[in-house]
Amino acid sequence: MKVYYAILFALSLVNAGVYALIWRKRFSVFITLTFVFVAIANLGYVIIANSQTVPEAIIGIKISYLGVFTHTFIMYAIFNLCNLNIKKSLRLILLAVSTFFFLSSLSIGSSSIFYKELTGELIGKNLILHKSYGILHTLYYIQIFIYTIITISATFYAFRKKYDVSRHNLRYMLACETLSVLTFFVGRLLHLKVDLMPLSYVISCLVLIIISRRIVLYDVTETVIETIAFNGKTGFVSFDDGFHYLGSNQIAKDIFPELAKLHVDDSALNDPELKKEIIENIHKFIINPKQNSFFKNFGKQIFQVDINKLFDGRVNRGYILYIQDDTKDQKYISLLNGFNDKLRDEVAQKTEHIIEMHDNLIMSMATMVESRDNSTGGHIKRTSKVVEILISEIQKDKSENRLQLSPDFCHNIIKAAPMHDLGKIAVDDAILRKPGRFTDEEFAVMKTHAAEGARIVHEILKGTDDLAFHLLAENIAHYHHERWDGSGYPEGLKGEDIPLEARIMAVADVYDALVSKRVYKDAMSFEKADSIMMESFGKHFDKTLEKYYLAARPLLEAYYSSAE
């Protein structure tokens, strides 16, 4: 009997060692904890088998009851494999139940709540224990039974509903849990001379090792990244959100030699070259996520550097740059550009007139929509001017933390501003032309103009070659009523999830609504309007735009004064 328990304890240590060799950081912590607790629980069985007195055996029994946690951890691991997210509070409750029963087992020898009685007789060199169980031990059985039902239910649900879950792994895990429970009850019902639980623990750990080796393959994101890194053709460099250096591979250090001089946690802002070549491009990406790549010449090679957010779970913790050799593509593009230059000049002349007609059509449609709205006469013209004034102030800013807008972006947003309310064409005249404030039901209908406007803009521009203008105009129509704090509509976007063009349009739209006369209100004074605007930055509006609004205020007031 002693040899049996000693062998199983040794095998549990071997299992733990094998698992340690194949361990990856993305392995479930619950599987890792299972190996730890199994080894400790099996040590408890060794102590019991070698005990000569009841007090010695009690120590081993208490240690062996750490196995109560393995059922919980295996259940959690199955939930992970099933891609079923259970709330942290529920996980804590289930773990607390297991902890309660383990703590109850510590009362053995001093209280009758878990074991009513525990005696022993020494036969030869073996201590034979006689146990009678208390009420909490019966509840412990019930807890194991309930956890088993939960586990089986989750597994069958995943089999039926989850297509991205490995059926093989689910079968293994279900067998692992079922084996543990069966040996727990069978061993006690048959009154065997040896306890089958440590054997089931060892078998369960073998199953977990098989599953763990497969888990690596199913994590597509991680395996792809590791494969790319192993091939040695892609450079990586990452920074936290304060631009402190986190690390890079050798390719990145070759292309940006300044990285080799940095220690982890050094600020990249202190290196002029890194600040110019990397950090400024990250700033552009922050302002406009579409500007997520740039090129770096390295000898005769041309590398494309892609900027992405660095996520820790769902939390953005910084930035990671991927660096790939783009020399062949860039040379091909350069060759094509040479052929295209002449053709482009000819096409530009012929398309200039078409573009002018297209712009006139857009303005005509916007004017037509506005003519149906009793409350916003001249709104299109005025808001377009406000956007133009704001963009002008942004372009004047030369400070280090300025918004850096490309000339195309500035041109496109001014051009697209008149399209922001095109969706009102789909709103019934009875609501749109109502000479007063809307009811809640009418306002709900009115709010549909944002999404409808995006659809209309998409249909109007879907044939255009200017994809940047197409997307920007669609974003303005769709999101100009979103709010920085997430309380806007139609999507309830928050913060930088709202496109920059829509954030700028929102400032112009609200300012005009405040200082212009409507059928349901008089024009507000500049002072009162300014007070409302200033209170709204950081809530309704992007706080970054506040300084540009302040700079533009004299021109805005002059414009509206002359328009009265």
- Region 350-379: mean pLDDT is 62
Name 237's bridge partners: 248, 321
The number of residues in the chain equals 564
> Can you give the pLDDT at residue 103?
92
Give the pLDDT band of residue 556 (cuts 50, 70, 90).
Answer: very high
Euclidean distance between CA atoms 242 and 87, whole angstroms:
31
Give the pLDDT band of residue 451 (cuts 50, 70, 90).
Answer: very high
DSSP-derived secondary structure letter, 259: G
Per-residue pLDDT tens over the stretch 75-106: 888 787 777 777 888 888 989 999 999 999 99
Per-residue pLDDT tens over the stretch 452-477: 989 988 888 887 778 898 999 999 99
- The residue that leads in pLDDT, 112 or 354, is 112
> Can you give the pLDDT at residue 235?
84
Q: Which of 263, 260, 264 is nearest to 246 (CA)?
A: 264
Please name the amino acid found at residue 527: E
Three-state DSSP class for residue 86? coil
Q: Which of 67, 48, 30, 51 is nearest to 197 (CA)?
A: 67
Question: Where in the chain are the domains?
Answer: 2-218, 230-325, 334-563
Low-confidence winner among 118-122, 136-140, 308-312 (lowest mean pLDDT): 308-312
Domain 334-563: homologous superfamily in CATH: Hypothetical protein af1432 (1.10.3210.10)
pLDDT at 171 over 90: no
- The residue that leads in pLDDT, 225 or 17, is 17
- The residue that leads in pLDDT, 67 or 357, is 67
Tokens encoding 181: 């429970």
- Region 1-28: mean pLDDT is 86
pLDDT at 23 over 60: yes
Q: What percent of the chain has pLDDT over 90?
A: 30
Euclidean distance between CA atoms 417 and 241, whole angstroms:
33
Half-sphere exposure of 484 (CA within 13 A, CB side): 18
Low-confidence winner among 144-148, 419-423, 516-520 (lowest mean pLDDT): 516-520
Give the pLDDT band of residue 535 (cuts 50, 70, 90).
Answer: very high
Q: Are 197 and 284 in contact (CB under 8 A)?
A: no
CATH class of 230-325: alpha beta
Euclidean distance between CA atoms 239 and 278, whole angstroms:
10
pTM of the model: 0.45
Report H helices in 317-378.
327-372
> Can you give the pLDDT at residue 487?
93
- The residue that leads in pLDDT, 563 or 198, is 198
Highest mean pLDDT among 23-32, 36-45, 145-154, 307-316: 36-45
DSSP-derived secondary structure letter, 277: I
Lookup result for tokens 């993305």 = 26
Per-residue pLDDT tens over the stretch 48-70: 889 989 999 899 999 999 988 88
pLDDT at 71 over 90: no
Tokens encoding 92: 């804590």
> Can you give the pLDDT at residue 331?
63
Tokens encoding 371: 């003519």
Tokens encoding 128: 């034979």
> Can you give the pLDDT at residue 220?
45
Q: What percent of the chain has pLDDT over 70?
A: 83
- Region 6-23: mean pLDDT is 90
> Can you give the pLDDT at residue 334?
59
DSSP 41-95: HHHHHHHHHT-SSHHHHHHHHHHHGGGHHHHHHHHHHHHHHTT----HHHHHHHH
Give the domain 2-218 fold: Rhopdopsin 7-helix transmembrane proteins (1.20.1070)
Give the pLDDT band of residue 380 (cuts 50, 70, 90).
Answer: confident
φ, ψ of residue 331 to 5 degrees: the values are -65, -40
Euclidean distance between CA atoms 499 and 484, whole angstroms:
11
Tokens encoding 402: 């300025």
Name 132's bridge partners: 117
Tokens encoding 4: 């049996």
Per-residue pLDDT tens over the stretch 279-313: 999 999 999 988 888 988 888 788 888 999 887 66
> Can you give the pLDDT at residue 471?
93
User: Using CA of residue 243, residue 245, residue 250, residue 253, what is the dihedral sign?
Assistant: positive
User: Using CA of residue 105, residue 110, residue 111, residue 116, what is the dihedral sign?
Assistant: positive
Mean pLDDT of the chain: 83
Q: Which of 536, 531, 442 is nearest to 487 (CA)?
A: 536
